[in-house]
A = this chain, B = another copy of it.
Amino acid sequence: MNMIGALIFDVFGTLVDWRTSIAREARAHLAPLGIEVDWYGFADAWRDQYQPAMEEVRTGRMPFSKLDRLHRRNLDVVLADRGLDQVDEATRAALNLAWHRLDAWPDVAPGLLQLRTKFRLAPCSNGNISLMVDLARHNGFVWDAILGAEVAADYKPKAIVYLSAANAFDLAPEETMMVAAHSSDLAAAASAGLRTAFIARPDEFGPNTGERSASVPVDFSAASLLDLARLLQA
C-alpha cells in the first residue's frame, strides 16, 4: 500500500449523514407553511429520486447538469407527489440548498486531518463543486482539491469519474484509493482499476439499515475514517 498517493471519497452517506440533515431542514423550511409530514420519509423520498435522475445523464438522454439542478427537479417531484403545490419558489430554492449544509459523521473531520498527513485527499462525489465547497466549510473538511462528477462531466458509477480523479492527481488508477460506504461504488471503482476501502455506516438510512460490511472484495474495511487512518498507518 506504499504506492497509494491519494484517497478519494464518496460523500453522501460515507462522510455526511444526509438523512438526518435533510429531514431536519425539510421540517425547518416546510413546517412554518403549516405542512406536517413524516420528515424522514420526505428525506428518503427525495433521495429515492437521486439515481433515476442521474441515470438520465449517464445514458446520454440528458446533458450533464450539476447535481443541484437534479436535486431541485427531484424536490419538485416529491412535493407534487404529496400534493404540496403551495410551496413557493423561494422556499424550494432555499430548501434545495439543504444539501450544502449536511452534517458530517463525527469521525470525519479528525479522520481527514489524520489521513492528510500521508495522502492527497479529494471528494469523488456526484455532488457539484459548490456543494462540496459548502460541505467542507460547514464541517471543517480540508481537501487538496474538489474532484468528482462536475470535473468529469458525468456521474458515478461511470468509470470516467474515478479515472479523472486519479488523473487529476497524476496517479495511475492503482495508486488511488476510493473510500465509500457503498459496495456498488467500490465495485465500480475496482473495475476501473482503483484500490478500495469500505467504511461502515450502519445507520445511513436509519438505525441498522446501512451496509455493515462490504458485499464485494475490498482492500480495506474500516469502522470509521480514524480506523482507516490506523489501518493505513497515517
Of A144-152, A194-202, A203-211, the one with at least 4 CB within 8 A of chain B: A144-152
Taking a contact as CB atoms closer than 8 A, the residue among B129, B169, B170 that contacts A168 in the complex is: B129
Interface contact A133-B145, CB-CB below 8 Å: yes
Number of copies of this chain in the oligomer?
2
Is A68 among interface residues, defined by CB-CB distance under 8 A? yes
* Closest Cβ–Cβ distance, residue A44 to chain B (whole Å): 26
Is A161 among interface residues, defined by CB-CB distance under 8 A? no
Interface size class on chain A is: 10 to 19
Q: Which chain B positions have C-beta within 8 A of A144?
A: 133, 136-137, 146
Is A58 among interface residues, defined by CB-CB distance under 8 A? no
Looking at A133, A137, A151, which has the most chain B CB atoms within 10 Å of its CB?
A: A133
* Closest Cβ–Cβ distance, residue A65 to chain B (whole Å): 12
* Closest Cβ–Cβ distance, residue A122 to chain B (whole Å): 9
In the complex, residue of chain B having the shortest beta-carbon distance to the beta carbon of A130: B170
Interface contact A130-B169, CB-CB below 8 Å: yes
What are 9 sample pairs from A and B whose C-beta atoms fall under 8 A apart? A68-B170, A129-B145, A130-B170, A132-B145, A133-B144, A136-B144, A146-B146, A150-B168, A151-B151
Chain A positions near chain B (C-beta within 8 angstroms): 68, 120, 128-130, 132-133, 136-137, 142, 144-147, 150-151, 168-170
